[in-house]
Chain A
């Protein structure tokens, strides 16, 4: 039986060998393959912690193919044969088949099922290491893109070998931009890796006032400190400052723990440890002669513990008073721990200058953010400034008009794949759709309720609920993509701190355009004149030959149409969901009310105030954005108490209307 089995196994393995014949065309003894096999295990394991030797060996091998291996590997194109363990690179033909190539010869080996191979997927940590290893090949590459890639890799994962490599090529660089980056990078690497203090200090000082995050990233590690303690404050150069225990910088517990760790004081006992000690010493119904029943207070337990100490059953522990006394006998201080004091002091001086500048720039950035938020609120509210501010109609479905505009944009993008064209199409279409919806709503519902504002509010709420659910039924509840054209991607970067995305700039510009449009329509056109006339005194206007019904309809449509365009803009920067309108409706009303009803400048001021306020509160409490919204609404409630007519209150006849 066993003979048969052995024969069978031998025959089978022969078959396998035959089947695997095409693979054996690959030269397992080629130097690059041997190198890979040597590190085969850690390459297959693919962990950043262990991969180092393999990458180093490849980079240092001097083999021409090493660069190919590293590049293919980084691009997840390296595969390992599950049977032979040999490495190849491959391209995928379809989901199940791959075409493999030999590293040594770059020749195609044939097409195989991908089940026989394991794809090596280096994670981004390993890819970073590979890129860093590729630097030496790429820095001298004639292709400027490769050199830029090398610089990117150095910026991400620099090591000390890069300094020498950079210095070797920096003077020969022909491309001015790359040369500039190289020089900057060389100075940064000098700060991090140079041996000589003088060299490092010179490099540090060359960055005076530079706002780059990379500069601060290089300098900050130089000025790290560690806490130390001594009986008196030593007069060393590297002592930064003295710290009093019991302040924010150092609490009593950690100060005392430091003393204990240096064997300068006896340990304190925690409540839990005390409890454990007491439990360990339970003797019948009492501990240290004190009844168990009376151990239900902390005082009782302290008493029992003291009794135990007196009996010698447990170690004495420091009391709070002793802790305070001990701490007074020592001086706590911080000292530089990373580099020599000279370098640290130089870095500290430069950092101080930079940080002042950073603070100024952060304020500017916050200001930009606030301005951007204000423009978004303004955009959301401007339609309301017309329907509510001018006409006095409470339209709770205003938010749903914003949503309709955004969904119009989404639908247009379904049919027009070009993003620029689709947005250009979406804006007028969104206006038309929401203009139509607005007119329909005015004709069917609102005009019957002009004398009953509270009922308008409720009826439009009904419409709002219905529209929201309708959108859910049609488009689903998941957010839909509304993608900005490519030229709106990215940000306008002033420096590493102050930047603002182009899409926000576009919204800001749009808000200004709308403001201008509103002013022109209201003050310079016949329609505007008639609108103002109808709002102030509809009967008088009617007797002058103006048709108030028509004007009301058009005004409401105009306000709704603008909301639709705002929807496209808001959808571009945030999200398109059926509930996006309700996110803005209360804020929009607040904006109009705070600013003062009936005045577009008031709305502008209101939006600015709301936006700035929200960003300001966010800055004060950065870890909780929700709190910012809560406090902002509270503030607005209070504000309206004291200025019920808003920032800019209408006076005279307009106010009576």
Chain B
């Protein structure tokens, strides 16, 4: 790929990115620690509901990684990646609902005097699933819901194709910058509105529920299942981190960073900018979808509100607060902000009594989050990840040169050393 004279680039990825090893080590330790403290496999200090929260947080970290890749490295501020996250959840949710209901229906029909026909079973499942929204027939969208492999394929293919088509349309007509952001936001909004309709065939506002009960595993307690999903989420995050590191390393990574910094120049240098952007956009959509497919069985329910534009904006918030343009920053941001949100909106945070007014965190947390976002953008564009630079700066000699480009907020200098 690269010229032999640029030999340092041929070093193993772990050597070039020591952070990768540190991250994977931390993740493994964390997973082990939670397992030992859990109810299902350990001494039961961490409640099952908190294990679920942690597992979900890992999934959020994974989607934040994807967001960092597409925004922090490629410069595409997508305000629609939670749509792909949601589609992944819906795809796996359809199978979970179908299979669980099928077991119930087959069991109940087996008691009938005549053996049930295939049609009767299918009708029974449809009535069970859609009775709640006043329908009793399967919409065509559920055609392959009975098959786990096909639905798993859908987890990857549907968001991938959507991203491919949308990205192709958007990038080929050179929609960039804020226009692209607004366009992706419109896409999420359209998808959410579509899913809100009962006619969409995915149970409208109710969405798919009871996803935490795995079909055929009714006898396994949730404390065990929650750990399984926690492991799966940790594994996915680890693999996702390796994949993202691999993508941003080497020549490909340099090109997408160059696209972020000056798209026209890269284009004039002869690179197919659109193809690069399309690849990153689609890849991150697929990563987001996989994260979603792991997230929603832990959350237990998915509905269109999860896809609302605000969710994708929060995703951008996490990455920005964590520090974009560095993968561990995204992970830190997602974990930090979402856990903090859980704490403050949970009603556990103590109120602050000012004498004349009592600040209740459930009401003021969002205000604080919004304002902190402004503050981070204005004063700390490197986010929480910037703290690591401070530590690094203490040990390394100061070799800072001038800024490398027109965009004051970018982080190219550090990357240029690589």
Contacts and interface: CB of A to CB of B under 8 A. Distances in A.
B370 A296 contact: no
A574 B406 CA distance: 46
A275 interface: yes
A633 B186 contact: yes
B377 A296 contact: no
A590 B378 contact: no
B198 to A, nearest CB: 9
A630 B373 contact: no
Contacts, number: 147
B363 A454 contact: no
B190 interface: yes
7 closest A-B pairs by beta carbon, nearest first, are A466-B370, A462-B373, A465-B370, A469-B366, A633-B190, A296-B115, A459-B377
Nearest to B174: A644
Interface stretch (A35-43, A155-163, A443-451, A499-507): A443-451
Contact of A627 (B77, B119, B166, B199): B199
A463 B117 CA distance: 59
Contacts of B377: 449, 455, 458-459, 462
A464 interface: yes
Interface in B211-227: none
A637 interface: yes
Most buried by A among B119, B182, B378, B381: B182
**Residues of B contacting A: mostly:** helix
B115 A295 contact: yes
Contacts of B173: 640-642, 644
B116 interface: yes
B408 A461 contact: no
Nearest to B364: A473
A459 B373 contact: yes
B404 interface: no
Nearest to B371: A466
Task: Kindly state the interface size class of chain A when it binds its partner.
Answer: 35 or more
B194 A297 contact: no
Contact of B193 (A301, A449, A452, A629): A629
Interface in B368-389: 368-374, 377-378, 381
Given A278-B114, A449-B377, 9 more contacts: A295-B115, A301-B117, A455-B409, A458-B316, A459-B378, A464-B370, A586-B186, A636-B186, A640-B183
A656 to B, nearest CB: 13
A451 B179 CA distance: 16
A517 interface: no
B166 to A, nearest CB: 8
A593 B182 contact: yes
A457 B186 contact: no
Nearest to B377: A459
B378 A586 contact: no
Nearest to A589: B182
A630 B370 contact: no
B317 interface: yes
A11 interface: no
A640 B172 CA distance: 12
25 contacts: A293-B115, A296-B116, A297-B117, A449-B377, A449-B378, A453-B177, A455-B377, A457-B178, A458-B373, A462-B370, A462-B371, A462-B372, A462-B377, A469-B364, A469-B366, A472-B363, A586-B309, A589-B182, A590-B186, A593-B182, A624-B197, A626-B196, A634-B190, A636-B186, A637-B183
Interface of A: 275, 278-279, 282, 292-293, 295-298, 301, 394, 445, 448-449, 451-455, 457-459, 461-470, 472-473, 586, 589-590, 593, 624, 626-627, 629-630, 633-634, 636-638, 640-642, 644
Given A452-B409, A590-B186, A644 B194 contact: no
A507 B407 CA distance: 43
Contacts of A467: 370
Nearest to A397: B370
B382 to A, nearest CB: 13
Contacts of B367: 465-466, 469-470, 473
Contact of B117 (A298, A590, A629): A298
B366 A465 contact: yes
A172 to B, nearest CB: 57
A296 B118 contact: yes
Contact of B381 (A298, A451, A453, A455): A455
A590 B190 CA distance: 12
B186 A458 contact: no
Nearest to B379: A448
Interface string B255-296: 000000000000000000000000000000000000000000
A581 to B, nearest CB: 13
Given A624-B197, A627-B199, A295 B366 contact: no
B27 to A, nearest CB: 28
Interface in B155-198: 166, 169-170, 173-175, 177-179, 181-183, 185-187, 189-190, 193-194, 196-197
Given A454-B177, A458-B317, A295 B182 contact: no
Nearest to B172: A641
Contacts of A279: 113-114
Given A466-B366, A473-B367, A457 B181 contact: yes
B178 A633 contact: no
Contacts of A636: 186
A452 B317 CA distance: 16
Contacts of A451: 406-408
B190 A630 contact: yes
B334 interface: no
A457 B181 CA distance: 9
A644 B114 contact: no
A642 B170 CA distance: 10
B299 interface: no
Contacts of A586: 182, 185-186, 189, 309
B313 interface: yes
Nearest to B370: A466
Contacts of B115: 292-293, 295-296
Contacts of B51: none
Nearest to B166: A637
Contacts of B373: 458-459, 461-462, 465
B333 to A, nearest CB: 13
B320 interface: yes
A185 B189 CA distance: 51
A275 B186 contact: no
B408 A454 contact: no
A44 B409 CA distance: 80
A591 to B, nearest CB: 11
A89 B119 CA distance: 66
Contact of A469 (B177, B181, B193, B370): B370
Given A296-B117, A394-B178, A627 B197 contact: yes
Contacts of A627: 197, 199
Nearest to B372: A462
B381 A297 contact: no
A286 to B, nearest CB: 11
Contacts of B364: 469, 473
B274 to A, nearest CB: 13
A296 B166 CA distance: 45
A454 B178 contact: yes
A633 B174 CA distance: 19
B145 to A, nearest CB: 21
A297 B115 CA distance: 9
Contacts of A637: 166, 169, 183, 186-187, 190
Nearest to B168: A641
Nearest to B77: A454
B178 A452 contact: no
Contact of A453 (B178, B374, B406): B178
